[in-house]
Amino acid sequence: MKRFFLSLFVFVVGLSAFAQDDYLKDIPETEAMSKKVAELFRQNKINQAFDALSPYWPLPDKEKESMEEKTIKYVNMLADRIGSPIGILKVKTETIGDVAIRETYLVRYEVSAIRLKFIYYKNEDGWIVNGFKWDDTFSEEF
């Protein structure tokens, strides 16, 4: 019996580790989230950007932390090469029916830009972050 309750406890704790904390209620909220995170990237506030996404992103914490650490490292390295940030620009919004949205932003620097892609998925509770990535290959947007 002890083993059953211990197993049940471990199962419930395990589920809560991957539980979705919060949901964005509509498309204007997804748009506001993307814009906020892009602006935080422009300000080189990478920690705050990931903190903003985190409640809506059911990715395991270890993976988010690893991505955040790598992002801080590479954005700082890129900034040395491409200058100071000068603004953000929303490039496009793409949809798959009413179940998925991909929003693309550029964070503009003096010499080049980085691209941010946000993917949101709608489940029965609301919109969640299904994916987030950034790169320096904005030329694909032409």
pLDDT per position as a tens digit, 85-123: 999 999 999 999 999 999 999 999 999 999 999 999 999
10 Å CB burial of residue 42 (0-12, 13-18, 19+) is buried
- What are the two backbone dihedrals, phi and then psi, of residue 34, each rounded to the nearest 5 degrees? -60, -45
- Residue 64 is given by DSSP the state H
10 Å CB burial of residue 94 (0-12, 13-18, 19+) is exposed
**Looking at this protein, which amino acid is placed at residue 5?**
F
User: What's the token pair of residue 72?
Assistant: 């801080």
| Per-residue pLDDT tens digits for 53-96 | 999 999 999 999 999 999 999 998 888 899 999 999 999 999 99
pLDDT band at 20 (very low <50, low <70, confident <90, very high): low
What pLDDT is recorded for position 80? Answer: 85
CATH 3.10.450.50 corresponds to the domain 22-137:
yes
User: What's the token pair of residue 17?
Assistant: 């580790």
